[in-house]
Amino acid sequence: MAMNEKRVAIVTGGSRGIGAAIVKRLAKDGLHVVAVARNADKLAEVVAAVVAAGGSAEVAVCDIADPKAFGDLIDGLADKHGRLDVLVNNAGITKDDLVLRMTDEAFDTVIATNLKSAFVATRAAARPMMRLKGAIGGRIINISSVSGVVGNAGQANYAASKAGLIGLSKSVAKELAKKNITCNVVAPGFIATDMTQVLPDQIKDTVKGLIPLQRFGQAEEIAGVVSFLASADASYVTGQVICVDGGMVM
């Protein structure tokens, strides 16, 4: 198919929270955004909001923990649009427990969803990105976490997956730089999403006391950093980890 005139972005975990905010922001920036997740209804709501605001987006339902299905999806989207400019590996799950009680299944499931999926997506996205014509080139942006930078008790699996994203990203940045493809990491701190809203107020207050800015971040603040990294302004930025955490980790 002829190349889409718009830059094309794929965002995993695009049905809620940070992912939905990224989908909306990149669409606002003028990209055509493919929102990927398992929940078709939630995805449809996000895409409908994008279209209502004058943006361009589509739904892609997929279990990203299935390497074959996910790799095929990215190949198919690149073929459909004739290009792939931006990949945002945002999807993530938690199965928290102390190491002594953590099961193999809990560890393996989190690694498969949070880390292996990003590897599968990057491998599939690299070839169409290499074929891009234009100054901006390809952009791979992995959403890690401050847990992957400093660790977190009760989250050995999650922290390992998010730390793994950092190592993966730095290696990819070195491999693909000569093809005009950058790869960077955004590491959010405590962000006001469904995952943090369920915390008891006492814990929320304690956490806020550890954050110099004294508040949780907003999903849109993560999306703003992703927007920068996906733009021409970030053409000389690669292999970097940007913590967006109100100063909690520094």
**pLDDT by residue (tens digit) across 154-202?**
999 999 999 999 999 999 999 999 999 999 999 999 999 877 788 888 9
The secondary structure element, H or E, covering residue 35 is: strand 32-37
pLDDT at 1: 46
Domain count, the chain: 1
Domain that holds residue 102: 8-244
In a domain, 22, yes or no: yes
Judge whether residue 209 has pLDDT over 70: yes
Contact 188, 245 (CB under 8 A): yes
Asked whether residue 2 is assigned to any structural domain, the reply reads no
Kindly report the average pLDDT of the chain as a whole number. Answer: 95
Please list the residues that pair with 89 across neighbouring strands: 142
Q: Please determine, for residue 28, whether its predicted confidence score (pLDDT) is greater than 70.
A: yes
Task: Confirm whether 3 is domain-assigned.
Answer: no
pLDDT digits (tens, 9 = 90+) for 64-87: 999 999 999 999 999 999 999 999
Closest of 75, 233, 96, 70 to residue 162, by C-alpha: 96
Asked whether residue 158 is assigned to any structural domain, the reply reads yes
For residue 47, how far is the Cα from the chain centroid? 17
What does the alpha-carbon distance between residue 225 and residue 140 come to, in Å, rounded to a whole number?
13
DSSP 194-217: HHHHTS-HHHHHHHHHHSTT-S-B
In-domain check, residue 249: no
Q: Is 231 within 8 Å of 28 (Cβ atoms)?
A: no
What gap in Å lies between CA 187 and CA 206, rounded to an integer? 21
**233: CATH:** 3.40.50.720
* Nearest to 59, CA basis, from 91, 92, 84, 23: 23
In three-state secondary structure terms, 23 is helix
Whether 2 shows a pLDDT value over 70: the answer reads no
Domain-embedded: residue 103: yes
Q: CB–CB of 114/161 below 8 Å?
A: yes
CA atoms within 13 A on the CB side of 140: 32
pTM for this model (two decimals): 0.95
Q: Give 46-62 pLDDT, tens digit per residue.
A: 999 999 999 999 999 99
| Residue 215, pLDDT score | 95
Structure tokens at 49: 């909001």
Q: What is the pLDDT of residue 3?
A: 63
Kindly list the catalytic residues: 158
Q: Write the CA distances from 101 to 119, 148, 158, integer angstroms.
A: 28, 20, 15
Q: Burial-class residue 96 by CB neighbours within 10 Å (0-12, 13-18, 19+).
A: middle
